[in-house]
Amino acid sequence: MAVKIRLKRTGTTKKAKWRVVVTDAKSPREGRFIEEIGYYDPGKTPAGITIKLDRYKYWVGVGAKPSDTVKSLVGKTSR
């Protein structure tokens, strides 16, 4: 089973919020997920980013592939 770390869209029309989830690569964007490890709210100033870095590192160590956007968000939170 290929596992990915990617964003899941929540919120209302034109007020999107995103959850950072670990999911099967074949699942749809708003489909089932294995674990929620954070969230991203671009509507706040500054943007609200919270990611459980210990769980992120665990999943990457096990072989999960993060999306480009998630990599960027993790880079912003670890500063």
Residues 6+ positions from 44 with CB-CB distance below 8 Å: none
Torsion of CA 62, 64, 65, 66, to 10 degrees: -110
- Total domains in the chain come to 1
Per the CB < 8 A criterion, the answer to whether 64 and 4 are in contact is yes
The percentage of residues in the chain with a pLDDT greater than 90, rounded to a whole number, is: 75
What stretch of H or E contains 75? helix 68-77
Q: Output the domain CATH number for residue 23.
A: 3.30.1320.10
Q: Provide the whole-model pTM.
A: 0.88
User: Which amino acid type is present at position 21?
Assistant: V
Can you give the residue range of the structural domain that contains 13?
3-77
pLDDT tens digits for range 26-56: 988 888 899 999 999 998 888 899 999 999 9
